[in-house]
Amino acid sequence: MNLACINTCDGFCQVLIRSNESDVLHTLPMQTGHDRALADMTRHALAEAKLTAKQLTHIAVAVGPGGFTGVRIGVSFARGLGLVTGAPVIGVSLLEVLAMQARTDGVDLGVGIKNVGRGQVAWALVSAQGVQQKPIVCQPAEFAPMLAKCADGRNVHCVGDQHPDIDNITGLTGVCMSIFADLATTLEPQTNPATPWYVRPPDAKLPKGIDPWA
């Protein structure tokens, strides 16, 4: 498998190229300007991996949660690259990647959590058997009882954005792209489309209910 992984969601522009030989990672911290950096970063990462774009067999892109513009840039670029190369494009949740990072400490369950504005948090839960709770949005006061019900007595480690009303979250500055790639290799494009995951419907809507990502 020759896999390209793209993340433009969370204050970084990241491209990882995974081949049978190695992983090549290019990463830059940025809040804006992903559209200007992403193509060059991908080209340089492919060259370092000694691959051409046409040799890619799969493409994975972070679909959120994240900034509205950053998510759209990454998804649009990945889908365009898929059209050019013919490689299937897979949507990957950053919450599930963070939850997998939490499980590297050997705990039963890992939780990835991010603040998503308007006083809400989004989170996902994974175990050794896979995703136990798909990404969901709730109020901070709802998080602990929901998590306790899902955990059912098993030990849990939470990583992501810290919140004053939620205890025991290990803060992280970003996702691990090698774990991102590990997750992407287990996902099917048909059931994990490269469609932005917005935590709530946009305030502005296109006429006649048009969905630009359909």
Cβ neighbourhood burial of 201 (10 Å; 0-12, 13-18, 19+): exposed
In the chain, the N- to C-terminal Cα span, in Å, equals 28
Task: Specify whether the CB–CB gap between 4 and 51 falls below 8 A.
Answer: no
In the chain, the percentage of residues whose pLDDT exceeds 90 is: 86
Confidence of residue 199 (pLDDT cuts 50, 70, 90): confident
Cβ neighbourhood burial of 95 (10 Å; 0-12, 13-18, 19+): buried
pLDDT at residue 173 tops 90: no
pLDDT at res. 53 = 97
Longest CA–CA span in the chain (Å) reads: 49
Task: Specify whether the CB–CB gap between 90 and 59 falls below 8 A.
Answer: yes
- Residue listed under structure tokens 């992501």: 160
* 95-171: in CATH 2.40.50.100: no
Q: Do domains 3-93+175-209 and 95-171 have the same CATH topology?
A: yes
Q: What's the mean pLDDT in 78-96?
A: 97
Rounded Cα distance between 111 and 93, Å, is 12
Name the token pair of 150: 């899902």
pLDDT at residue 205 tops 70: no
Tell which CATH classification among 2.60.120.10, 3.30.470.20, 3.30.360.10, 3.30.420.40 matches the domain 3-93+175-209: 3.30.420.40
pLDDT at res. 98 = 96
pLDDT at residue 212 tops 90: no
pLDDT at residue 5 tops 70: yes
pLDDT at res. 209 = 67
pLDDT at res. 211 = 65
Name which residue leads in pLDDT, 23 or 207: 23
Name the token pair of 96: 């599930």
Task: Specify whether the CB–CB gap between 169 and 160 falls below 8 A.
Answer: yes
Residue spans of the domains in the chain: they are 3-93+175-209, 95-171
Q: What rounded mean pLDDT belongs to the chain?
A: 93
pLDDT at res. 174 = 83
Q: What is the pLDDT of residues 90-112, one digit of tens each?
A: 999 999 999 999 997 779 999 99
Q: What's the mean pLDDT in 206-210?
A: 68
Cut 0.75: pTM above it: yes
pLDDT at res. 201 = 63
pLDDT at residue 78 tops 60: yes
